[in-house]
Amino acid sequence: MRNVLKSALLSASLLVAFDACAQIPTLAKCTRSANLLACVDGDGNAYSVNTAGSTMYLRGFDAAGKRYWAQTNSRYGQLTFFTGIASDGEAWVGYNRRIGWTTINRFSSSGGSSARFTCNRIAGC
DSSP single-letter state for residue 36: E
Question: What secondary structure does DSSP assign to 39-106, as a single string?
Answer: EE-TTS-EEEEEEETTEEEEEEEETTTTEEEEEEEEEETTEEEEEEEETTS-EEEEEEEEETTEEEEE
Q: What is the pLDDT, as a whole number, of residue 76? A: 95
Q: Are 121 and 34 in contact (CB under 8 A)?
A: no
Q: With respect to CATH, is domain 2-120 assigned 2.40.128?
A: yes
Query: Residue 27's pLDDT is what?
Result: 77
Q: Quick one: pLDDT at residue 17?
A: 35
pLDDT on residue 28: 81
Q: What pLDDT, on a 0 to 100 scale, did the predictor assign at position 121? A: 87
What's the start-to-end Cα distance of the chain, in Å?
A: 19
Domain limits of the chain? 2-120
Q: Are 108 and 93 in contact (CB under 8 A)?
A: yes
DSSP for 10-24 reads HHHHHHHTTTTTTT-
Q: Read off the pLDDT of residues 5-26 as tens digits, 9 standing for 90 and up.
A: 555 554 554 443 343 333 444 5
pLDDT recorded at residue 3? 52
**pLDDT < 70 stretches in the chain:** 1-26
